Structure 1
Amino acid sequence: MLKKVLSYLIPINIHTVKSDLSKSIEITWANGELVLDSENTNYSYGSLQRILRLGLKTIGFHKIIKMDHILVLGVAGGSVVKTLVDEIKFGGRITGVEIDPEIIKLANRYFKLDEIQQLEIVIDDAFEFVLKTRDKYDLIIIDIFQDTTMPNFLYESYFINRICFLLKSKGFVLFNTMLLNQQHNLRNKKYISDFCTTNYSIKSIPRIEIHNELIVIEKTI
């Protein structure tokens, strides 16, 4: 595993693919582990896995392991799924929604995502999926990026209200956001202040890995 050893000195790209939806998707050895990156940011494993693991830890591994059904909006390479299954030992259902089939092909090839029996992958737009699904979820993980850009619909009231509707009693939302400028900071502050707080508690975990802020929402009834 010479490439793995050398990756502690410099990242080593082993596969690059372009798709209709992504400019570039790269599989790279970095610091001794395989990661999936877009052109300008980490999509799965590496720093992203550390970020989402912290969010899950904030919710509480002991709570997550008792859940029945988790929804992941934005699967990419599936690092958060691996954390749920391999580290937390979550045994319930996981539904993963990913818009780009090319990313799922790479996730299956390099990260064996298709070997996780409790995982159902749906190739769909996250916005369309949440409108159609009839299931309710104990935890909804939102990790949707187009390279370094977050789609506007994530902050629209209709989407937010629909996410709240899909949460079971005492359920959680873990929302990974990226803050690159002051406008993004203000956007997140407004999101938190405007949130339907009557039956929900909401808090942020700011400035993780420099540019990420996690928002954790709990349905209190």
Structure 2
Amino acid sequence: MLKKFLSYFIPVNIYKRNSAINKTLEVTWNNGQLVLDSKSTNYSYGSLQRILRKGLHYIGFERIKKFDNVLVLGVAGGSVIKTIANEIGFKGRITGVELDADVITIANDYFKLNEIPNLTLINDDAFEFVLKTKEKYDLIIIDIFQDTVMPNFLFEEFFINRINFLLKVNGFILFNTMTLNKKDKERNLLYRSRFTEDYSVRMYPKVEDHNELFTIKKLQ
């Protein structure tokens, strides 16, 4: 508890390792809270939890409670899963897909994701998983980064169409993006334009400095 107390004055690192996928991973006490960071950005808890919590608020906690199943692509330390399970009180099925096995180990050891009874954690590539799954989902959360870089496939038509296929009618996509420059902002505008009138798309810019959220509802 001393490290937690000291973290209100200065961040206290308690674990660090190199990952083949994410390179540097650090678990740190910061302002009395455990957070997971990569070399250049917050991966879970801290600012990222605030960002995704805002997105879930935009969709509506009471609406989410009534969903049957949620898919999280990009788990990291699992802050959004903790929000869904603990704050919202969601009792349906949660499936979390994370490419980095080292991250899953950290999520279980330090953030106790393995204690959430309605969560299934899968070590897989998000692109591969969405090709294989036969489930349909009420909420699909996309939060995939390698440090500050977003994989190109997230914005390609094939992946977008596959995600849309997996989404139930009246279901939502919550997509967290990073906009560091003009090119990123243009990429996001192009992404928005790929959705037809069968979807209600909202953009929320400047969420925690460089993040831009999308909420996308499937109307029919």
Same fold (TM over 0.5): yes
Q: Where does residue 116 of structure 2 map in the other structure?
A: 116
Count of residues in Structure 1 that have an aligned counterpart in Structure 2: 220
Q: Where does residue 45 of structure 2 map in the other structure?
A: 45
In the TM superposition, 1:1-221 aligns within 5 A as: 1-192=1-192, 194-221=193-220
TM-score, with normalisation over the residues of structure 2?
0.99
Q: What amino acid is the match of 2:150?
A: M
C-alpha RMSD over aligned residues? 0.7
Q: What amino acid is the match of 1:196?
A: F
For the residue of structure 2 that corresponds to 1:18, the secondary structure is strand
For the residue of structure 2 that corresponds to 1:24, the secondary structure is strand
Q: What amino acid is the match of 2:30?
A: A
Q: In the aligned structure 1, how far is the partner of 2:19 from the partner of 2:5?
A: 30
Q: Percent same amino acid at aligned positions?
A: 63
Q: What amino acid is the match of 1:197?
A: T
Q: What amino acid is the match of 1:79?
A: S
Contiguous gaps of at least 5 residues in structure 1 = none
Q: Which moved more, 1:2-11 or 1:54-63?
A: 2-11
1:196, distance to aligned residue in structure 2 (A): 2.2
Q: What amino acid is the match of 1:16?
A: K
Q: In the aligned structure 1, how far is the partner of 2:2 from the partner of 2:75?
A: 29
1:12, distance to aligned residue in structure 2 (A): 1.1
Q: What amino acid is the match of 2:65?
A: I
1:117, distance to aligned residue in structure 2 (A): 1.1
Q: In the aligned structure 2, how far is the partner of 1:195 from the partner of 1:82?
A: 31
Q: Deviations over 1:113-167 (max 9, x none)?
A: 1111110011100001001100000000000000000000000000000000000
Q: In the aligned structure 2, how far is the partner of 1:80 from the partner of 1:19?
A: 22
1:11, distance to aligned residue in structure 2 (A): 1.1
1:198, distance to aligned residue in structure 2 (A): 2.2
Contiguous gaps of at least 5 residues in structure 2 = none
TM-score, with normalisation over the residues of structure 1?
0.98
1:20, distance to aligned residue in structure 2 (A): 1.4
Q: Which moved more, 1:27-36 or 1:17-26?
A: 17-26
Q: In the aligned structure 1, how far is the partner of 2:217 from the partner of 2:91?
A: 21
1:4, distance to aligned residue in structure 2 (A): 1.1
1:195, distance to aligned residue in structure 2 (A): 2.1
Q: Deviations over 1:74-121 (max 9, x none)?
A: 001000000001000000000000000100101111111111111001
1:21, distance to aligned residue in structure 2 (A): 1.0
1:9, distance to aligned residue in structure 2 (A): 1.6
